[in-house]
Amino acid sequence: MSKLQPVRGTSDLLPADMAGHRFVVDHARAASAQYGFQEMATPIFEFTDVFSKPLGTSSDVVTKETYSFEDRGGEQITLRPENTAGVVRAMISGGLTQSLPLKFFYAGPMFRYERPQKGRMRQFHQIGIEYLGPTDALADAEIIACGARVLADIGVLDKCVLHLNSLGDTESRLTYRAALVDYLGGHKDALSDDSKQRLAVNPLRILDSKDKGDREIIVAAPRLQDHLNDLSKAHFETLTTALDAAKIAWQFDPLLVRGLDYYCHTAFEFITDALGAQGTVLGGGRYDGLSEMLGGPAIAGVGWAGGIERLAMLAAGGTVVVPQLAVVSADSESDHHAFQLAESLRDAGFSVDLPTAGNMGKKMKKLDKAGIKIAIILGGDEVERGVVQLRNLADGSQDEVTRDALVKALSLIIAPTDNFNE
């Protein structure tokens, strides 16, 4: 029998890894709340159309990367590869289109079938925000500022560079599309097979190509910013003026694009090279056409998502929570007294470990290895006299304390995790 392992591209989040995840999520949740974003969650699977309609049946995500299947009721289901479409679907199906603007924060697992590598898994986790309703550039600045604050709060903003571009409005993109098709058509024979197919369906997706030959052709391609109309230029100028006023540093990146039709105006990514190869840790933009594409009314949206695994590696923060103290019975006759005492201390707000296996020596070794600093020891004699032995495992000192005075004595040494009454 082969060694039992998690499915390729997935991993267990054991306490040390989970601490890093919680560090990122907790800081992101708190920072987003400062901007008025409220936490919500969507199901991890949706009807396939929720993703195939906006992403397009010819996109790599839909054709190569989604986990899609037919359920027992004959419905076509897909595990979510991203969460923006699910959030917009929730707005429409939840009857929230009359309650705009809406500001949502989320955190959870996503699924894409791709080659696993460091910081990129088949089941991965994201934090994200979506701002639904506003069409103005200040809303774009607001969500970028929120992203920057999240990165600052987890201590990684100085390791990232904000790349920014304008995709323009529909009129600008149509003008640009014609120029791009004319240019790429002259290099059609040299394009990759995928890009040849995209040339007829959505040529802007070719700009996302990772093929080396395609990249060489793209370098000399027409630039989108040269085809922006006055409205699009004004939107971008308002955005960058706001970012400059808030002292949020940014770098113009003309090759930063979103190939799908519902994206417009702002596109941005916070990019780092601190994880080896250059990579995006948080990115997003404006998607004013997504609601209509899903069958809803014309409602604008802007948001971002960040990879928790990458952010956790970059931040290297979070610690495993260790109980403040332990209650140790010196003999089997005192076990139920130790259990009762541990429960009463938890009621008082302390986090308490209760080792149940092994003799006294083994129990104390386990406490030391776990990093617990205070041990409350009781045996038959202590139970009879209504006292306990309070041992400081850091320096070995020990004092006898009455049961009635125990909570007060502990409060002078360590703070309870919650308020308590003496």
Structural domain contains residue 237: yes
- The strand ranges marked E within 218-299 are 251-252, 264-272, 279-286
Structural domain contains residue 350: yes
Q: In terms of domains, do 146 and 35 share one?
A: yes
pLDDT of residue 319: 78
Structural domain contains residue 25: yes
pLDDT of residue 199: 84
Dihedral of CA atoms 237, 298, 169, 47 in degrees, nearest 10, equals 110
pLDDT of residue 2: 57
Given a cut of 50, the residues of the chain with pLDDT beneath it are 1, 58, 418-422
State whether residue 255 is helix, strand or coil. Answer: coil
> What does DSSP assign to residue 62?
I
Contact between residue 107 and residue 125 where contact means Cβ atoms under 8 Å apart: yes
Structural domain contains residue 282: yes
Q: What is the CATH number of the domain that holds 347?
A: 3.40.50.800
Those residues with Cβ within 8 angstroms of residue 293's Cβ, 6 or more apart along the chain or in another chain: 53, 54, 261, 262
- The strand ranges marked E within 73-216 are 76-79, 102-111, 123-133, 160-166
Tell which phi-psi region holds residue 36, choosing left (phi > 0), alpha (psi between -120 and 50) or beta: left
Contact between residue 163 and residue 147 where contact means Cβ atoms under 8 Å apart: no
262 has binding-site annotation: yes
Which residue, among 235, 42, 37, 40, has the nearest Cα to 146 in the 3D structure?
Answer: 37
Which residue, among 281, 278, 303, has the nearest Cα to 157 in the 3D structure?
Answer: 281
pLDDT single digits (tens) 304-322 = 999 999 999 999 877 788 8
Domain-terminating residue out of 283, 315, 347: 315
Alpha-carbon distance of 167 to 177, in angstroms, equals 11
- In terms of DSSP bridges, do strands 374-378 and 102-111 run parallel, antiparallel, or are they unpaired? unpaired
198 has binding-site annotation: no
Q: In terms of domains, do 51 and 131 share one?
A: yes
Q: What are phi and psi of 372, to 5 degrees?
A: -75, 135
Structural domain contains residue 217: no
Q: In terms of domains, do 75 and 155 share one?
A: yes
Q: Considering its fold, how many domains does the chain have in total? A: 2
Structural domain contains residue 211: no
pLDDT of residue 361: 86
b or e along 81-108 (b: 16 or more beta carbons within 10 Å of the residue's beta carbon)? bbbbbbbbbbbeeeeebeeeebbbbbbb
Q: In terms of domains, do 78 and 155 share one?
A: yes
**Joined tokens for residue 263:** 């994206």
Q: In terms of domains, do 371 and 302 share one?
A: no
State whether residue 272 is helix, strand or coil. Answer: strand
269 has binding-site annotation: no
106 has binding-site annotation: no
Q: In terms of domains, do 303 and 387 share one?
A: no
The range of the structural domain enclosing residue 349 comes to 325-411
pLDDT of residue 63: 57
Domain-terminating residue out of 315, 348, 364: 315
Contact between residue 343 and residue 302 where contact means Cβ atoms under 8 Å apart: no
pLDDT of residue 324: 87
**Type of residue at 226:** D
83 has binding-site annotation: yes
343 has binding-site annotation: no
Q: In terms of domains, do 299 and 330 share one?
A: no
pLDDT of residue 421: 37
pLDDT of residue 275: 83
Q: In terms of domains, do 281 and 145 share one?
A: yes
Q: In terms of domains, do 337 and 277 share one?
A: no
Cα distances from 333 to residues 28, 336, 365, in angstroms, run 48, 7, 21
48 has binding-site annotation: no
pLDDT single digits (tens) 137-193 = 999 999 999 999 999 999 999 999 999 999 999 899 889 989 999 999 888 888 898
Q: In terms of domains, do 131 and 255 share one?
A: yes
385 has binding-site annotation: no
Those residues with Cβ within 8 angstroms of residue 245's Cβ, 6 or more apart along the chain or in another chain: none
Which residue, among 201, 103, 85, has the nearest Cα to 146 in the 3D structure?
Answer: 103
State whether residue 298 is helix, strand or coil. Answer: coil
Alpha-carbon distance of 228 to 242, in angstroms, equals 20
The crossing angle, in degrees rounded to 10, of helices 15-34 and 137-153 is 140
**Type of residue at 279:** G
Q: In terms of domains, do 20 and 109 share one?
A: yes
